[in-house]
Structure 1
Amino acid sequence: MNVRVQGRPVGTHPTVPPEVGRGAMRRITEVGEEVLRRPCREVAATEFGTPELAALIDDMFLAMHVAEGAGLAANQVGVDVRLFVFDCLDGLGGRHVGHIANPVLDVPDLAGRRLIEDVEGCLSVPGASAVVPRTAHAVVRGFDKDGAPLVIEGEDYFARCLQHEVDHLSGTLYLDRLSKRSRKDALRQMEDRRAGVFERRVMRQERLAAANP
């Protein structure tokens, strides 16, 4: 498998990223909570390179891993800041791992560009999924935790992940991109499946704790 960490190719990378082992568990916010609905603030220049920012990234990796996610935005752990982490397969034989602060999505010229409709879910809408149109290519520009410029490029499912996470930081959920009927169906799915999702998360957290006493 081709692996890229912070957009750069690497030979190998652990199945469980090292950030997971350093993180402290944080609760994942759910649809209906106000923090998910307001645009997040920029990471300030004085915050780059700090232990606090590095710890937040570690915590987000742990929460994402426990919840079996491909990406997680900071407001999904209740922190109002423009930052997301990812550990995502692209569907083309590649894996992408990393984080990006103050991301800006390059908006493609949609004229003549085919949107790909595929199933999408969200850790903040536990148990639900729906078909959402996204572009098959995405570029996000921002900074790493130390303030170095960063460009992350994605194709296929990873492009979908990048667009989904940037949406989060603007206060947008994938539910907002659905028809009224599809949105109601997704919320019904969540109601039916939420308890089972949380049971699995608790079990994964317990197994992880047992493996790393």
Structure 2
Amino acid sequence: MLTMKDIVREGHPALRKTAMDVANPPSKEEKELLEDMLLFLKNSQDEEIAREYELRAGVGLAATQLGVLKRMLAVHFEDANGKKYSYGLFNPKIVSHSVEKAYLTSGEGCLSVDRSVEGYVPRYARITLKAIDLEGNELKLRLRDYAAIVFQHEIDHLNGVMFYDYIDKNNPLVAPEDAKAIN
């Protein structure tokens, strides 16, 4: 079972490296790791388990956050409309995105960042993503608003980019131009 001890923190070199594609089909070990990543997220959102194992609640996790430079990510969350997203994905790739931007009014957080970072992170309001799921199926997801933001945050990890790289250093709490606010 993955715990917070397995997650690398800010300053670890893996967080600034680009992850490599996973062969299709993925190895047994890669599939097991991705299943463990998804289980970590589910456990982190279960109050009892999170308390017992001292897990910080998370909605997404990229393999690079475990020091593994492979294009794998897991997400587990529900959007404001009650739609559930629970995926383990290999080789996720954004194939198209909107011109319109969006940002979370609460800002973004990260399991690899043990401090609060003030500021708005401009993201695409809508994205289309292609990936391979845990069963080996190719899938195409059309995502908007909060869901699009979560997936972009995790894909950025696979490209060595941290969420705070996007924050305006001079005016972190000024709403990004032409971007819609997501609460």
Same fold (TM over 0.5): yes
**What is the TM-score when the length of structure 2 is the normalising length?**
0.76
4+ aligned runs moved over 4 Å, structure 1: none
- For residues 145-178 of structure 1, the C-alpha deviation after alignment (integer angstroms, 9 at most, x for no partner) is 3432112232221110011111110110101111
Structure possessing the higher radius of gyration over alpha carbons: 1
Distance in 1 (CA, whole Å) between partners of 2:146 and 2:39 is 21
1:132 maps to 2:89: no
1:84 maps to 2:73: yes
Alignment check: 8 A CA contact 2:98 2:126 kept: no
3-state SS, counterpart of residue 91 of structure 2: strand
Deviation, 1:116, is 1.6
2:23 corresponding residue in structure 1: 44
Cα RMSD over matched residues?
Answer: 2.0
Distance in 2 (CA, whole Å) between partners of 1:97 and 1:182 is 34
Paired-residue identity, %: 31
Consecutive unaligned residues of structure 1, counting only runs of 5 or more, are 1-22, 184-213
1:60 corresponding residue in structure 2: 37
1:33 counterpart letter in structure 2: H
Alignment check: 8 A CA contact 1:100 1:150 kept: no
2:179 corresponding residue in structure 1: none
Greater relative contact order: 1 or 2 (C-alpha under 8 angstroms, separation 6 or more)? 2
Alignment check: 8 A CA contact 1:136 1:160 kept: yes
**What is the TM-score when the length of structure 1 is the normalising length?**
0.66
Deviation, 1:54, is 2.3
Higher helix share goes to which structure? 1
Consecutive unaligned residues of structure 2, counting only runs of 5 or more, are 45-54, 173-183
1:70 maps to 2:47: no
